[in-house]
Amino acid sequence: MINIYDNVNAVATDLRETAQYKTLRDAVAAMQKNPEAMQVFKDFQAAQMEINTAMQSGQEPKPEAVQKWQEIAGQMDQHEDLKNMMAAEQAVNALLQEINDIVTKPIAELYDI
């Protein structure tokens, strides 16, 4: 019997060797060396978490929280390190979506009529 977890762990190991992962790793390291960019990123994560928490509990996020998030998002555009990191994240997410499509293809095929 096949141990699917061995295969998935191999994919995780292989992911670390992709250009997309290495670009993201380097972009995160560059961002972390810039204290101002790092603080903006932390603020963005906190604001995003506040909005996500409200939405997950079935509530509308407070307008002040949304405004704060938008302001911080605007600040992110002022930091080249953050823009590079976000672009690298998008590339990794695209790769992960492709992998997910491959992994879930057998399930999708079950429903093909």
Domain ranges within the chain, ordered by starting residue? 18-111
Q: Which residues contact 82 (CB under 8 A, 6 or more apart)?
A: 31, 37, 40, 41, 76
Domain 18-111 sits in CATH 3.30.420.40: no
Give me the tens of pLDDT residue by residue for the chain, a chain 113 residues long: 789 999 999 999 999 999 999 999 999 999 999 999 999 999 999 999 999 999 999 999 999 999 999 999 999 999 999 999 999 999 999 999 999 999 999 999 999 86
Cα gap 48→108, rounded to integer Å: 32
Rounded Cα distance, 112 and 48, in Å? 37
Confidence (pLDDT) at 1: 78
User: What was the pLDDT predicted at 2?
Assistant: 84
